[in-house]
Amino acid sequence: MKLLDGKAVAQKVLGEVGAGVRDLRARTGATPTLAVVLVGDFAASKIYIANKKKAAESVGIASRDHVYAEGLSQPELSTLLESLNADPDVHGILLQLPLSKGLDEDAAIAAIAPEKDVDGFHPLNLGRLLAGSPTVVPCTPAGCMEILDHYGADLTGADAVVVGRSRIVGKPLAQLLLARHATVTMCHTRTRDLAAHTRRADVLCVAAGRPRVITGDMVREGAWVIDVGVNRLETGKLVGDVDFASVRERAAAITPVPGGVGPMTVAMLLKNTLAAARRQLGLG
């Protein structure tokens, strides 16, 4: 069984981003800059953005905080996003979700200029992905693909099963697998017999947000398994959506939690930020 080490792949990506940032600085004098917007008092979001900012700093990407506990209205949020859209020194806008109660996330995402949407959630960017000509790809699915490619997964003609159909993970991941000529099945809570589908998978990607929903008996011998889930048990232990102990007995390759997809998400965010800065500075 091959352990798919997301931490190591993320380090490789961050190394490449760091080199790209130095090249961009040398050629334009500009520093890629990420505006981080958080509206609401969410402990988990604060940890996520602290991690993202630390990683950004490590590769030479500057970040600017726009953090509001509560009390920002939709028009105020739109005004903030418009000012960041118009600021030539800001190349990427990270709108940390969720937003505080009463704010419309879809409207806020749509208010971000597509060229600064480093999460790839803007409808235009999702549409480009669907059309087969993506500009920016959502970070977590992009990270899953990077892991599969790094370890040489054979996707052409493979039966790929994606459990979960969220806009940020499942749906874009299915599109990316399809673009690589996998035969893709998407499963969700209304799927009649989940195990019947997962057992057919050569590549099984799980983003359900349910601890250990996939067990060894649901996995085909020799499958590649990507576990996107991050669930904290009452004991405080962090586990994925895949029961690692039983699935590792059957899988050919599997990502651990933590240390699998999680680090990749941050690395891909910074890769997207560098790419956005390059495009805005005319480097293509």
Contact 155, 181 (CB under 8 A): yes
Read off the tokens for 268. Answer: 């891909």
| C-beta atoms surrounding 248 within 10 Å | 17
In angstroms, the CA 267 to CA 140 distance is 9
12 belongs to the catalytic site: no
Q: Is 96 a catalytic residue?
A: yes
228 forms part of the interface with ligand NAP (CB under 6 A): yes
Tokens (6 digits) for 195? 């195990």
Residue nearest to ligand NAP (CB): 166
Q: Are 116 and 85 in contact (CB under 8 A)?
A: yes
Amino acid identity of 165?
R
* Least gap, CB of 247 to ligand NAP (angstroms): 15
Among 9, 169, 239, 254, binds ligand NAP (CB under 6 A): 169
Q: Does 197 bind ligand NAP (CB under 6 A)?
A: no
In this chain, which of 207, 239, 242, 251 binds ligand NAP, going by CB under 6 A?
A: 207
Minimum distance, C-beta of residue 44 to ligand NAP, in the bound complex (Å): 9
Q: Take residue 59 and report the two structure tokens written for it.
A: 């590769």
CA distance 278 to 284: 6
Minimum CB distance to ligand NAP smaller for 59 or for 266: 266
Q: Considering 117, 119, 202, 243, which one is annotated as catalytic? A: 119
Which tokens is 45 given? 């979001």
**Between residues 28 and 166, which has the closer beta carbon with respect to ligand NAP?**
166
Closest separation in Å from C-beta 11 to ligand NAP: 16
Q: How many residues does the chain have?
A: 284
Q: Is 280 a catalytic residue?
A: no
Under the binding rule (CB under 6 A), the answer on residue 33 touching ligand NAP is: no
Give the tokens for residue 126. 């999702």
Are 111 and 53 in contact, with CB atoms under 8 Å apart?
Answer: no
20 touches ligand NAP by CB under 6 A: no
CA dist., res. 33 & res. 116, Å (int):
10
Question: Does 190 contact ligand NAP by CB under 6 A?
Answer: yes
Binding segment (CB under 6 A) for ligand NAP, from list 36-44, 100-108, 120-128, 208-216: 208-216
Would you name the residues annotated as active-site residues? 52, 96, 119
Contact positions toward ligand NAP, by CB under 6 A? 140, 163-166, 168-170, 187-191, 194, 207-210, 213, 228-231, 261-262, 265
